[in-house]
Amino acid sequence: FKPACDGIVRHVKDLLQSPKVKGVNKILMVGGFSESDILQEVVGKAFPNCQIIVPQEAGLAVLRGAVLFGYNPKAIDSRIAKYTYGVKMNVEFDQKIHKASKKEVIDGVEYCTDIFDRHVKKGEELIVDEAQAEKSYVPLTRQQKVISFSIYTSTEDDPFYVEGCENIGKFVVSVPVGVEDRSVNVRMIFGRTELTAEARVVKTGEITPAPFELPVEEKI
């Protein structure tokens, strides 16, 4: 049991380092392994300043919780983001901070491609069906009639490039031609099992919603 017990203790210690759980003095143990006297003793010694709570039939606690949640999904109205979410974008190339391999010339202008523009940081609280802050994007050329948005997730807090991140989908938005303001504002809305990326063309007010399946670990 030692490797498993040590792994659990390490994980709990990592969790308790977060400012969001500062002052926590109770640990609730559920699941079949929580009924182990050995694990309970190890956790108790590792966290002497915390009250260790093990409910009766701890092995059934998770199952019962799932059943109760099925009857009342609104019982949980928020989650802590397990991933960082963002949009792939291009920015004007700066040789001081950007990789030369990422440089691309578009309509006579040097751009850095594959930039990860963060919308949600891992560890943030996400209220179910509540929109996150908008971010604005513009076409790179006057002739451009659409903007393609690719949505990425990352296990890092603030990735610089989308390399090593997971692409969960993309969507396309038409933009007006021949007008001064061609910007598109994008925001993310997290439901229980899906993420909706919502794009709003500022000039026309037209909204394009694009649903994406959330990673399994992010669903509630």
Q: How far apart are CA 116 and CA 94, in angstroms?
A: 15
The string of pLDDT tens digits covering residues 148-200 is 999 999 999 999 999 999 999 999 999 998 888 999 999 999 988 899 999 99
Going along the chain from its start, the domains and CATH numbers come out as: 2-75 (no CATH), 80-218 (2.60.34.10)
**Element at 174 (helix H, strand E):** strand 166-174
**Element at 146 (helix H, strand E):** strand 146-154
The string of pLDDT tens digits covering residues 49-103 is 999 999 988 989 888 888 888 888 777 888 889 999 999 999 999 999 999 999 9
pLDDT at 192: 84
Mean residue pLDDT of the chain comes to 92
- For residues 21 and 15, the answer to whether their CB atoms sit within 8 Å is yes
Q: Band of the pLDDT at 220, cuts 50, 70, 90?
A: low
- For residues 154 and 186, the answer to whether their CB atoms sit within 8 Å is no
pLDDT at 215: 84
Please state whether 12 falls in left (phi above 0), alpha (psi between -120 and 50) or beta: alpha
Dihedrals phi, psi of 175, to nearest 5 degrees: -120, 145
* Predicted TM-score (pTM) of this structure: 0.78
Amino acid at 194: E
pLDDT at 62: 85
% of the chain with per-residue pLDDT over 90: 75
